[in-house]
Amino acid sequence: MARYFIESPHTSEECLDTLDGILAQGSDLLAKYDWGCGVGDHTGYAIVEAASEAAAREAIPSFLRAGARVGSVGKLTPAQVQALHKGI
C-alpha cells in the first residue's frame, strides 16, 4: 500500500453533503480528515493508504472527485535529505 494525500475543496453550500459523504464511507475515514471549514477554508485534507491513486480517489464523495487533488506522498529519512544535498 502506498500513501496518498487528498485535498478536497468544497463550497460552504456543499459542506454538510461533503461531511455526510465521507462519514457514509465510515467513521475511520472521517477520522483521517482534517477540515478547514471552521475557519472558512472549505477543504478536507487527508492522508490515506491505498493500492493506487484511483483507489485513494474513491475516498472522496463522487460529486467532489473532479475538483479534488490526490497525489503520492512519502517520508524521508535524515540520510535521504543529506543525499539530496549531495546530489546523489
Exposed/middle/buried for residue 58 (C-beta within 10 Å: 0-12, 13-18, 19+): middle
The predicted-structure confidence for 1-38, as pLDDT tens digits, reads as follows 999 999 999 999 999 999 999 999 899 999 999 999 99
The three-state secondary structure class of 45 is strand
CATH among 3.40.1350, 3.30.70, 2.60.40, 1.10.3470 for 2-86: 3.30.70
In Å, what is the CA distance from 7 to each residue of 12, 45, 71, 86? Answer: 16, 5, 9, 32
The predicted-structure confidence for 34-83, as pLDDT tens digits, reads as follows 999 999 999 999 999 999 999 999 988 898 899 999 999 999 999 999 99
